[in-house]
Structure 1
Amino acid sequence: MGIVREPIIVRPHDSLLHTIKIMTMEYVPKLIVGDENGNPLGVVTQKDVLKFISKMGSRELDSVYVSEVMRKDIVTVTSDIEPLEAAQILIEKKQPMLIVTSDSGRILGMIIKSDLSQYYGSLIRGIQKISEYMSKNPIIINENSSMHEALNLILSNDISRLIVVSDGKIVGTITTTDLLYLAPVLKMKEVNVKVKEVMTPTIVIVDEYEDLNYAARLMANRKVKGLPVVGVSGELKGILTTTDIVRALTDEKIRKYLLELKLYTTTF
C-alpha cells in the first residue's frame, strides 16, 4: 500500500470554525496549512484546536484565524521516502505528520501515523506482541465526569484519548475527535456535559499477548487510532495507539524482516 495520501489544505486566513468543520466532516485529525501557491506554512491538529479553544475566552470560532492556531515546526519529505524512514522521522522529531513536497517545494501529499500503522498491518506479522509496545498505566476517566475534565486530562497529558470506565469496567473511549464535535460549547465552563454522553462506546479491545499485526489490522478496519489492552482476566493493562505501532516500525527487527521478505519474494 502507498503511505502518501492526498493532502487536505487550509489557508492561514481561514477561520477556526471552517477548520473544525473540515476536520469533523472529513474525519481527519490533521490538516496542512498552505499558501496560495501551494507551499507549506504549517500544520494544525485537533489537539492544537482544543488547546486554543480552552484558552480563547469570549472570542467566537469564526473570528480566529488558522495562523493563530497552527504549528510551524513542520518536516517536509519527498514522495520516494521509504515507510521505515518516515516512521523514524515521525518518532524522532515528534511530528504529527510529514508533508510530502515536490522538488520546487509545493505540497504533494501527507503521511500520517494511521497510514504507517496500516502499512504495518498489511506486511508484518509474527514479529512483535502488543505488550511490547502498548503504553502502560493508561489514563482513565469515569463516565460521569464532565467533558471539561476530559479535555483538561487530554491537554495536560498531551494525549489524544482517554479510556472511560464505570464500576471498574471499560465502557468506552473519549478522543479529541469526540470533543471537537462539541467545539462551540467547550469554552462555556457552565455547560455540564458528561463524558458518557459524548464518548465512543468501546466494543473492541485487544489482549496484551496478541500479535501487533492483529491490532494494526483491527485499527485499520474499524478506523480507530487507539485500542484498550486487557490481560487474561479482562483487567485493563494499557492502551495501544497508532503512535505505538509507528514506534514498532523503527525496530531493527522489522528492517531485517522486510529485507528477508523482499529477498524471498523476488527469488520466486
Structure 2
Amino acid sequence: MAKRQPKVFVNIPVPLTSIIKQPISIPPNTSILDARDILIRHRIGRLVVEFNKKPVGIVTEKDIAKSISIFSGKPIAKILIRDIMSKNLVTLQPEASIYDCAKLMQKNGISSIVIKNSKGKLVGVVTKTDLVSTFLIQSTATLPISKIMTKKVITVSPNDSIFEVESVLLNNQIRRVVVAKNKIPLGMITFRDFVPAKTFDLHKEFTVPQERSEIFWNPQLNEFNANKLSYLLTFSAKDIMTPNPFFVSPNDVVYTAAIIMIRHEISGLPVVRGKKIVGIVTKSDIVNVIASKGKL
C-alpha cells in the first residue's frame, strides 16, 4: 500500500490581489549609485523600472553587484539602470492566482512577478516573501523540512576572499552561500552584502578591471592566480557575512522555517543536525510547494 502523503494545505483560498504590493519604482536613467542607496535605505531586494507608468524592467541586488565586473572599464557613477536592468519582464494580471504566480517563479527561477493591468500599466509586484506569507495561512504545519530542503550545500570558508565568494555565487547561480568551518555554519552571505558602498570601494581600490573580471568568472581560483592576485585576498568572507545565522533542524516543520524567514527578513536557513550543516531551505523551496499546491 502506498504511503499516504500528509495534507500540506488547508482549503483557504488566498486571492492574488490581497498580496500585491506597490513597489518602489525608478526611471531608466537612474544612476546605479542612486539605485543602490534606495535598496539600502528601504532594505529591499529589487526596484521596478518604470517609464510612462509602464514597467519596462527590473533591477535587483544581484544586478548591481554583478555590474561591477560587467562594466569594469566604466566609472561606477556613470552606469545607469537602463544598462543593467532585466528587460524581459515576467508578468501577470491581477486576476491570476497565487499558484500561477508560484509556478512562474519556479519556471523562471526568479524572486518576483510584476503585476500589470490589461493596458500594460504597473499595478504592483508579488515577491517570494509575499508567497511565503500565504503559505503560513494555508499550511497545516505537517510538512518536515527534510522533505523540501536542498541537501547539497555550497559553502565558502571564512577566509575566502570576497571575490572568490562572489565567483561562487555567480558561477553556481545561487543567491546565498553559507560560510562554514568544519561543516559548522558561521554566517551567511547574499548579494545584499555586496551592495553597500564599502564593497564598491574595495572593488575599485584593490583591483584593476582585467584582473577583477578574471576572478569573477573563473569557476575555480587556481593556486597560480591566487598567488598572482594575493593582494585581493585582504578582504574575506568573514568581513561581509552576517554572523550567527538562524538555523533549523531537518525534523522541524516548514511552517517554522517560514516564520523565521518572515520575522527576520531572510531568504534562506542552514539545516543543521548536531551543529553540522546537512542542507539548506529557502523561500524558493516553499514557493515550489505552493506551485505544486502542496502535492509533493
Q: Would you call these one fold, judging by a TM-score over 0.5?
A: yes
Identical pairs, percent: 26
Q: 1:30 to 1:164 in 2, by over 3 A?
A: same
* Corresponding letter in the other structure for 1:79: P
Measured against aligned partners, the alpha-carbon deviations of 1:192-248 in whole angstroms (never above 9, x if no partner) come to 3121111101341001121111101110011111100112x2321111111111011
Q: TM-score, length-normalised on structure 1?
A: 0.88
The reply on whether 1:14 has 2:33 as its aligned counterpart is: no
2:93 counterpart residue number: 78
| Residues 59-96 of structure 1: per-residue CA shift (max 9 Å, x gap) | 22220111110111112212233212210111123333
Change (3 A) 1:159 1:40: same
CA contact (8 A) 1:125 1:212 kept: no
What is the distance in 1 between the residues matched to 2:294 and 2:170? Answer: 34
C-alpha separation between the residues in 1 aligned to 2:284 and 2:294?
Answer: 18
Q: Say if 2:275 is the partner of 1:234.
A: yes
Residues 15-46 of structure 1, C-alpha deviations (whole Å, 9 max, x = no match)? 111111111111111111111x1101111111
Which residue is equivalent to 2:247?
Answer: 205
Counterpart CA distance in 1 for 2:292 and 2:37 is: 37
The answer as to 2:171 corresponding to 1:156 is yes
Q: Which amino acid aligns with 1:63?
A: K
Q: Is the CA contact 2:162–2:237 (under 8 Å) kept in the aligned structure 1?
A: yes
Q: Which residue of 1 aligns with 2:123?
A: 108
How far 1:7 sits from its partner (Å)? 1.1
TM-score under structure 2 length normalisation: 0.80
**2 CA distance for matches of 1:130 and 1:222?**
18
**Cα gap change, 1:25 to 1:125, in 2 (>3 Å):** same
The within-5 A match list for 1:71-150 is 71-150=86-165
User: Any stretches of 5+ residues in structure 1 without a counterpart?
Assistant: 256-268
C-alpha distance after superposition, 1:74-125 (max 9, x if no partner): 1221223321221011112333321111232111110111111121123313
Distance 1:65 1:112 in 2: 24
Structure 2 residue runs without a partner (length 5+): 1-13, 208-230
Correspondence 1:244 to 2:285: yes
Match of 1:25 among 41, 53, 61: 41
Match of 1:266 in 2: none
1:169-210 deviation per Cα after TM superposition (whole angstroms, max 9, x unaligned): 211101111111123433543553121111101341001121
Shift of 1:167: 4.0
Give the RMSD, CA atoms, in angstroms. Answer: 1.9
Q: Is the 8 A contact 1:227 1:240 kept in 2?
A: yes
Q: 4+ residue runs of structure 1 moved beyond 3 angstroms? A: 252-255
Matched AA of 1:213: Y
Compare relative contact order (CA 8 Å, sep 6+) and give the higher one, 1 or 2.
2
Whole-Å Cα distance in 1 between the matches of residues 142 and 87 of structure 2?
37
Contact residue 145 and residue 251 of structure 2 kept, 8 A: yes
Q: Deviations over 1:116-169 (max 9, x none)?
A: 112112331334221121122111111111111111111111111110113442
